[in-house]
Structure 1
Amino acid sequence: MSYPGLHVTPHIRLVRPLGRGGMSSVWVAEHLGLRTHVVVKFLSDALAQSPEMVARFQREAALASQVKSPHVVQMIDHGLAPNGVPYIAMELLEGRDLRQLLAERGPLAPHEVVAILWQVAKALGRAHERGVVHRDIKPDNLFLCDVGHGELFVKVLDFGIAKVGAASDLGATRTGVTLGTPYYMSPEQVMGAKVDARADVWSLGVVAYECMTGLISTSRAPRRPRRPASRAASSPARPRAAPAASTSAASSPGRAPPGAGARTARSR
């Protein structure tokens, strides 16, 4: 059981709960050595009984630590708390995720979309260079940090179901096992087939389409968030997908573009 004042390690002391979900609980903590506040995520008690889920949880920290990018959330520590529950300590971010921004504002301005996609692509490019495929790129996992002056600084979150190379030691990497968020998944990922960096590029293309139109690019679940009256009046027609989004949404793996690193290099 976690409570304020609990020392997760000699240097990390819990301060207050931040949130709880089906898989984990999140706390704000004080790092006594660094003299700063951090976030500590605990695997839920129920899932902590599953060796596979424990291993997947620990991989999140290990994989994110391998990806050296200012646009990937910084991992600080991970291990087992005194009560035996796995934890991950990471930097505390101020701001909101892209899902919240889209819910509040609807379609974004073109320059905002470009800024967000460029930063995510740079983060994914670094991940792909290390052989890491995120496999769950979606607005919920793209955090917009509050850095002032109206700037958008993006951090990619949650490498919990990421895949390294051809590794298949966990259910998260076995052919026939589907993990991710269906609306953002590439066809091969939906089918449980092997995936590579192109799956992340597909997902980013879906995010791009949603940012520009306010719609999810699938006929299974059309959604149209309510737009501000001023924006709706000025753009009554449904916008076409930009070339980058259209290319990313190739209908088969063989037609999909290469990894995000190649795409950012071509864009320069």
Structure 2
Amino acid sequence: MRVESNQNNSNEPVSPAAATIADGIGSSTPRESADSSMLTSRGHGAVALVEGAGPQLSGETHALLRSRLRAAALLLGVGMAVALVPHWAHGDFSQTAAVVLFWLHVAMVVVLGLITMVLYRGRVQALTGLRAIELTIFGLPSLFFLVTEYLWTLDCCRDGQFHFFSGRWLLLMYTYALFVPNTWRRAAVVIGIIGAAPILVLVGMAIMDARLAALIAAEEWARIVVINLIAYAGSVYGVAMIGDLRKEVFEARQLGQYRLKQRIGAGGMGEVFLAEHQMMKRACVIKLIRPDRADDPRSLARFQREVRATAKLSHWNTVDVFDYGNTEDGTFYYVMEYLPGMSLAELVQRHGPLPAARVIHFLRQACDALAEAHHAGLTHRDIKPANIFAAYRGGIHDVTKLLDFGLVKTPADDDVSVHLTVDGAITGSPLFMSPEQALGEGEPDARSDLYSLGAVGYYLLTGKPPFEGEKPLKVMFAHAHEELIPPSARGCDAPGDLERVILRAMEKKPADRFQTAFEMGAALAACRDADAWTRDHAADWWEHRGEVPARV
């Protein structure tokens, strides 16, 4: 899958300690900045969607090995446990060797069960530990089968007949090949030992016992060797093929100069990936919007227009879009900065309502970001705490970043989002949407965003949304028709000047609200606590109470 890329740069440095991913927005023309080498220009031709190899592939193999060993231990353990029942019911325990074999069978089932439990609990993380467990999982059954083969062969000699059962060894070889991610060279050694062990034991017994040597015809030796050789060759070839396919799939998750490292979100129309620029080793976020996931082609086309339109947004408080383009299969992608911090929704969920000074601090910056967007003719349509980020940028804490101009929602937002953006449809999240959005009355404008921003301020002060209900339609009805309870009446210590700003922003009629983001920002700046939350306060809070969870 190949990509043609429109480049867009940002002079915004990305903190190496970043631990949280920001949802991004889109815009129109590329920005000039120091990050130009990060981008793929149209003049350099198309780029491909691939997933990188190297250390990332090794890390993925490590995780896959743990899960596959879990499955192999469970499969072999259950199989051996089932076989234990007839062994106990019909076994001849008159001889010491038979008793030893039975208890070896029991011990093997117990050990495989314990290994399965350990792997399910994730206790073993080191690769050396996993490889030791791998050898135990396949070594114990091999030992049990060897002892069984030895005792069975002795019985055959006494009875004057010989039978060799290849099935149990083929089972081990094929199980190893299918379940254990490996290089073909290492697999060749391990599978070779499994396949050769019974033959070597049989050869040793034939050398030591002339009766056994006389029982085994040349054709029987050939049959045993050929069967095991075919199984060995097929298993090793299968490991090589599976390894190549895994590498191809891994490489199929790399987007041009950006290596996709981990999927961190998904929504109705697309996926969000944590990524890294291959040359600069800088973290970023890539969103893919696939045409087959779009509910309506008009929605996809609109998203593309908005990304191109908003790429010229350069405000400090708007998340940066570095790059965007289309793959040859129609997948639309765009690349955003990677942010440390947490969303305002998570901030309140973890630490409760915020002091008035900090609320003003966040809202003023959001107003600045919206002012630029509105001046460019762009309406966000989905202002909510989850789409406003408290980030660490340029050595400063509590930098507001406005995210996601309605492009791709994440699982954390799915419970309350009505996320359609077709003209004339309902847009936004019910808990924070404006009355005109709730009623579907025309296209939301700048004043709709300011209503939602006021609702965010209400939430930050009280820890609760302005209106609550079990169903989205009830909440939407409340926004359109019910009277708003002032924050101070809900038990929070809201200063009168800030409360008046929030109540005006949340007037039912757009004409009664602030008409521009500049106007609302000026009203917030005039509040008594406007400058009470300083950089030092923010740095102290994050140092002593802040956490940096990894989520979109």
- Category of TM-score, reference length = shorter chain: 0.7 to 0.9
- Structure 1 residues 202-211 or 109-118, which shifts more? 109-118
Letter in 2 for 1:204: L
Aligned match of 2:338: 92
Aligned match of 1:182: 430
* Match runs of 1:188-267 below 5 Å: 188-194=436-442, 195-218=444-467, 220=469, 237-239=491-493, 242-266=499-523, 267=525
Aligned match of 1:126: 372
- 2:351 and 2:439 mapped to 1: Cα distance? 33
- 2:501 and 2:461 mapped to 1: Cα distance? 12
2:322 and 2:335 in contact (8 A); partners too: yes
- 1:30 and 1:38 mapped to 2: Cα distance? 6
Distance 1:92 1:82, change over 3 A: farther
2:50 and 2:255 in contact (8 A); partners too: no
Q: Deviations over 1:47-84 (max 9, x none)?
A: 24742232133234223313221111111111123554
Residue 149 of structure 1 and its aligned partner are, at CA, apart by 7.5
CA RMSD of superposed structures (Å): 2.8
* Match runs of 1:24-173 below 5 Å: 24-32=270-278, 34-44=280-290, 46-48=292-294, 50-81=296-327, 83-147=329-393, 151-160=397-406, 172=421
Q: Which has the higher contact order (CA 8 A, sep 6+)?
A: 2
Letter in 1 for 2:516: G
Q: Deviations over 1:128-181 (max 9, x none)?
A: 1111111110001011113497820111111136xxxxxxxxx83623x11111
> Sequence identity of aligned pairs in percent?
33
1:64 and 1:74 in contact (8 A); partners too: no
- 2:437 and 2:514 mapped to 1: Cα distance? 15
Residue 200 of structure 1 and its aligned partner are, at CA, apart by 0.7
Q: Of Structure 1 and Structure 2, which has the larger fraction of its residues in helix?
A: 2
2:390 and 2:397 in contact (8 A); partners too: no
Alignment partner of 2:426: what SS?
coil
1:198 and 1:258 in contact (8 A); partners too: yes
Distance 1:212 1:57, change over 3 A: same
Residue 46 of structure 1 and its aligned partner are, at CA, apart by 3.9
Whichever of the two has the greater Rg, that structure is 2
Alignment partner of 2:515: what SS?
coil
- 2:320 and 2:379 mapped to 1: Cα distance? 17
Aligned match of 2:228: none
- 2:329 and 2:354 mapped to 1: Cα distance? 45
Distance 1:237 1:192, change over 3 A: closer
Distance 1:83 1:115, change over 3 A: same
Letter in 2 for 1:180: G
Residue 220 of structure 1 and its aligned partner are, at CA, apart by 3.7
1:41 and 1:88 in contact (8 A); partners too: yes
What TM-score, normalized by structure 2, do the two folds share? Answer: 0.41
- 2:468 and 2:342 mapped to 1: Cα distance? 28
Letter in 1 for 2:305: R
Aligned match of 2:413: none
Q: Deviations over 1:97-125 (max 9, x none)?
A: 11111110110112211111011010001
Letter in 1 for 2:254: H
- 1:70 and 1:160 mapped to 2: Cα distance? 20
Alignment partner of 2:436: what SS?
helix
Alignment partner of 2:353: what SS?
coil
- Structure 1 residues 40-49 or 184-193, which shifts more? 40-49
What TM-score, normalized by structure 1, do the two folds share? Answer: 0.80
Is the aligned partner of 1:7 residue 2:250?
no
2:340 and 2:392 in contact (8 A); partners too: yes
1:64 and 1:159 in contact (8 A); partners too: no
Distance 1:149 1:86, change over 3 A: closer
Letter in 2 for 1:121: C
Question: What is the total number of aligned residue pairs between the two structures?
Answer: 245
